[in-house]
């Protein structure tokens, strides 16, 4: 089964998401399933992703909003929004939407739990707006609106760079599940059981990750994607900033700036000259304290003794 944009919007509304957040929810769903998005702008209802990020605690990410599932042992102890991380139930679109809404609410009404927000989801906002309104998006309007009028090639360049950074960063950091494993180890230490086993498991997982050449390729993608993003921002952002720079240059004529700088330089020179002329006068007024004065005083005392004798 595949879900269209209007169907995604209906699921978000049915889960109780505020109307002002429905468009973002659809855009996030598109971004999370971008590799499975077809020409009709539909996505699978039960797609399983992040298979390479699975661990003893975490299962695959499931459904239109790619909710990361918990293993049964952890799901049984889950509280809050984590109670919805049941892989089997997350394959049902309505349940997936309910889990999405719970995670969104638990994060204070924000989308930070989804790695595609906002860098990648922004590219799908125009299509999502059309879906929420119940009308298909015009051809090419998604890319044009997302880039603020930039060309499709420019958007593609930035989109690929963003994909590099987002996907590679998740692949590099999440496989180790550092915080989860450290938390498990601390919990085991507190109970006094299984600390050594947890530590060995953690070290084995880290060694396995480091031995996989594909992970180092992902590290390279993070660096490459970061530099591509910076380069793209400089290349395509300067045309928008250039008019503002020209307006500033016209608003403050160069002659006035030069005149102000010359005035500051003259004032500084006058202050230095006044300081230099005052120094010799102060030195002339100061009493002499050198060896000549001491010698004169000793000679006067000798003459006084001779006269007395």
264-302 pLDDT, tens digit each:
556 555 555 555 555 455 444 445 444 555 555 555 665
Category of 48 on φ-ψ map: left (φ > 0), alpha (ψ -120 to 50) or beta:
beta
Domain residue limits at 219:
148-275
Assign 75 a pLDDT band (cuts: 50, 70, 90): very high
| Number of domains present in the structure of the chain | 2
Query: For position 155, what pLDDT does the model report?
Result: 40
Which of 85, 120, 146 represents a domain boundary (last residue)? 146
Q: Does residue 113 have a cis bond before it (omega within 30 degrees)?
A: no
Task: Say if 286 falls within a structural domain.
Answer: no
Assign 249 a pLDDT band (cuts: 50, 70, 90): low
Q: In terms of domains, do 165 and 133 share one?
A: no
Task: Say if 126 falls within a structural domain.
Answer: yes
Q: In terms of domains, do 3 and 85 share one?
A: yes
CA distances from 269 to 62, 134, 256, 258, 263 (A): 73, 72, 20, 17, 10
Q: In terms of domains, do 123 and 158 share one?
A: no
Q: In terms of domains, do 120 and 179 share one?
A: no
Reduced to 3 states, what is the DSSP secondary structure of residue 138?
A: coil
Whole-angstrom distance, CA of residue 44 vs CA of residue 37: 8
Q: Higher confidence at residue 155 or residue 206? A: 206
Residue 182 CB coordination number (10 Å)? 13
pLDDT tops 60 at residue 172: no
Q: In terms of domains, do 11 and 125 share one?
A: yes
Assign 11 a pLDDT band (cuts: 50, 70, 90): very high
Report, as an integer, the average pLDDT of 217-244. 71
pLDDT tops 50 at residue 161: no
Q: What is the mean pLDDT of the chain?
A: 72
Residue 58 CB coordination number (10 Å)? 18
The crossing angle, in degrees rounded to 10, of helices 178-191 and 195-211 is 160
Can you give the pTM of this predicted structure? 0.49
Which of 89, 112, 146 represents a domain boundary (last residue)? 146
CA distances from 211 to 177, 204, 214, 217 (A): 16, 10, 9, 12
Category of 41 on φ-ψ map: left (φ > 0), alpha (ψ -120 to 50) or beta:
left
pLDDT tops 80 at residue 206: no
pLDDT above 70 covers what percent of the chain? 52
pLDDT tops 60 at residue 204: yes
Q: Of the ranges 147-151, 229-233, 275-279, which one carries the lowest mean pLDDT score?
A: 147-151
pLDDT tops 60 at residue 190: no
Q: In terms of domains, do 122 and 194 share one?
A: no
Task: Say if 301 falls within a structural domain.
Answer: no
Could you tell me if 90 and 67 are in contact, meaning their C-beta atoms sit under 8 angstroms apart?
yes
Helix (H) or strand (E) holding 137: none
Could you tell me if 28 and 65 are in contact, meaning their C-beta atoms sit under 8 angstroms apart?
yes
Contacts 24+ apart (CB under 8 A), 72-79: none
Q: In terms of domains, do 13 and 133 share one?
A: yes
CATH number for position 51: 1.10.530.10
Report, as an integer, the average pLDDT of 201-211. 69
Assign 176 a pLDDT band (cuts: 50, 70, 90): very low
Query: For position 138, what pLDDT does the model report?
Result: 40
CA quadruple 228, 230, 235, 236: dihedral positive or negative?
positive
Q: In terms of domains, do 30 and 166 share one?
A: no
Assign 303 a pLDDT band (cuts: 50, 70, 90): low
Task: Say if 198 falls within a structural domain.
Answer: yes
- Give every CB contact of residue 78 below 8 A, 6+ residues apart in sequence: 70, 85
Whole-angstrom distance, CA of residue 187 vs CA of residue 74: 13
Query: For position 159, what pLDDT does the model report?
Result: 46
pLDDT tops 80 at residue 226: no
Assign 235 a pLDDT band (cuts: 50, 70, 90): confident
Q: In terms of domains, do 194 and 108 share one?
A: no
What values do phi and psi take at 2, rounded to 5?
-120, 150
pLDDT tops 90 at residue 210: no
Q: In terms of domains, do 21 and 131 share one?
A: yes
Q: In terms of domains, do 93 and 228 share one?
A: no
Which of 109, 128, 146 represents a domain boundary (last residue)? 146
Could you tell me if 127 and 5 are in contact, meaning their C-beta atoms sit under 8 angstroms apart?
yes
Instruction: Give the chain's count of helices (H) and strands (E).
Output: 13, 5
Whole-angstrom distance, CA of residue 64 vs CA of residue 41: 13
Query: For position 294, what pLDDT does the model report?
Result: 54
């Amino acid at each position: 089964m595949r879900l269209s944009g209007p169907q995604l919007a209906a699921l978000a509304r049915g889960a109780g998401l505020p109307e002002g957040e429905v468009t973002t929810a659809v855009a996030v769903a598109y971004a999370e399933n971008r590799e499975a998005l077809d020409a009709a702008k539909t996505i699978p209802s039960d797609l399983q992703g992040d298979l390479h990020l699975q661990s003893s605690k975490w299962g695959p990410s499931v459904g239109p909003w790619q909710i990361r599932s918990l293993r049964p042992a952890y799901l049984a102890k889950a509280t809050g929004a984590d109670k919805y991380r049941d892989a089997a139930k997350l394959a049902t679109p309505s349940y997936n939407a309910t889990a999405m809404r719970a995670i969104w609410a638990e994060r204070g009404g924000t989308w930070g739990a989804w790695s595609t927000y906002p860098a990648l989801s922004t590219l799908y906002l125009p299509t999502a707006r059309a879906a929420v309104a119940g009308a298909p998006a015009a051809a090419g309007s998604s890319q044009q609106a997302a880039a603020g009028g930039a060309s499709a090639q420019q958007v593609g360049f930035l989109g690929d760079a963003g994909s590099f950074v987002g996907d590679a960063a998740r692949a590099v950091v999440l496989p180790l599940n550092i915080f989860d494993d450290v938390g498990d180890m601390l919990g085991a230490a507190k109970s006094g059981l299984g600390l050594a086993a947890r530590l060995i498991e953690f070290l084995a997982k880290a060694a396995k990750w480091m031995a996989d050449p594909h992970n180092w390729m992902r590290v390279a993608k993070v660096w490459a994607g970061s530099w591509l993003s910076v380069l793209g921002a400089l290349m395509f952002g300067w045309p928008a900033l250039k008019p503002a720079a020209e307006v500033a240059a016209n608003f403050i004529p160069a002659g006035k700036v030069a005149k102000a700088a010359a005035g500051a330089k003259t004032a500084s020179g006058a202050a230095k000259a006044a300081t230099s002329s005052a120094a010799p006068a102060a030195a002339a007024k100061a009493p002499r304290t050198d060896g000549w004065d001491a010698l004169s005083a000793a000679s006067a005392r000798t003459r006084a003794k001779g006269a007395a004798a």
